[in-house]
Structure 1
Amino acid sequence: MNQPMTFLLHMLLFIPLVYAANATVSVWDDSDKYKYFGCYNETTQVPGSADTRALGGGIQESLPGAMTVPTCLAFCGNGATEYRYAGLEWSRECWCAQTLSGIAEKLDDTACNYPCEGGNTTACGGSLKLTIYRVSLASGLSTPGLFSLVTTGLVMMMLW
């Protein structure tokens, strides 16, 4: 890579770090479907993780300069598959999955201090940290597990 391109790449990677260090962000909590679940570490660098993600097995999108919490929640909850978890990382990445890795650890909310690039007052994770939202049971989102068992009568059979 030529020297000007290398410099530009380093600056682009450095800008969110400088911006995040000076930012004051808050948790966005204005969804009927998803509720804030907490700040969690990314698991790709955890020993024994085999480089798997905290929100693996789902979908993701990156929107440099445009990511917001509502954009991510819509991406995770309005498609053909409605994902149980939505997580924002690095100010611009949105990760959707049905499960949160068991080796992901809940951190203090202040660890997720990068502002969303599309709305600089709300938290969008951090470096190897995810601001995670989980589907609220009151949202009416289909949950195939227990609900399916109840509606098919399998739970009734197990109770007898």
Structure 2
Amino acid sequence: MTARRGWAAVRRLGSDAGGSSAVEFAIVAPVLIALFAGIVVFGLYLGAMSSLRQLAAEAARASVAGVTDAERASLARQRVDTSLAGGSLFRPGSVGVEVGADLGDPTLYVVTLSYDSTALGLGGFARLVPLPPDMMRSRVAVRRGGL
């Protein structure tokens, strides 16, 4: 009689699905968390890169009005500072501005903006997903004279 009860208990144990949801969640949860972290990290990074690219384009457009290289550089820096002061993803003074002639084509000059993305606070996700490079750069070339 006890042997029958033992086998009945084993059969019931095999058909019991009470803990299967917890096991499935334990298997799937790390993958979903890593996927969500990757979406957050790369979404923030791509948004910051897009903002930096837009800011570089604005600075290059503003610098077209300059007659000399020094005036162009001043106009580009002024435009970046004005944009950052008006509210942006980046803090004022956190974006580096370089303006100079293009070495490959003397009819062009280049506005290059650089930003250290560690200020975005993405380092906390380093254990979950691979992080993009820390230094972000956006380079926009404009023809001298605006043409």
Does TM, scored on the shorter chain, surpass 0.5? no
Could you state the TM-score of these two structures normalised by the residue count of structure 1?
0.23
Could you state the TM-score of these two structures normalised by the residue count of structure 2?
0.24
Structure with the larger RCO, 1 or 2 (CA within 8 Å, 6+ apart) = 1
Q: Which has the larger radius of gyration?
A: 2
Q: Which protein has the bigger helix share?
A: 2
Q: Which protein has the bigger strand share?
A: 1
